[in-house]
Amino acid sequence: MIELFFRVSSKRQKDEGFSLEAQSSLVKEHVIKNIVFDKIDRTCRGHKSAYLLEELMNEFDIKLHFTRNNLLVDKKSPMSIKDRLGIGI
């Protein structure tokens, strides 16, 4: 479950690009680009799934967060970090 919170305090903020719509758009784009999982082994059931995740990272610039593994993986991650993803599967 994801809950998003937006707030505008003044007309000036709204006029300067901090409208509810602008905040919503920016936050939703960030949420879409960041996928959060509990653990690596809860994410994939084999190397085929891991390959699909890697395609998401590379093609759409998605960041994968694994909270219990304390791991963040994206297309710019060094191979040593990406290997942790493969080992955890």
pLDDT in tens, 40-76: 888 877 778 778 888 888 888 889 999 999 999 999 9
Task: Indicate yes or no: pTM above 0.75.
Answer: no
pLDDT for 77 beyond 90: yes
pLDDT bracket for residue 1 (50, 70, 90): low
The residue written with tokens 């791991």 in the block is 71
Question: How far is Cα 80 from Cα 9, in angstroms, rounded to an integer?
Answer: 45
Q: What is the pLDDT of residue 2?
A: 66
Q: What is the pLDDT of residue 31?
A: 74
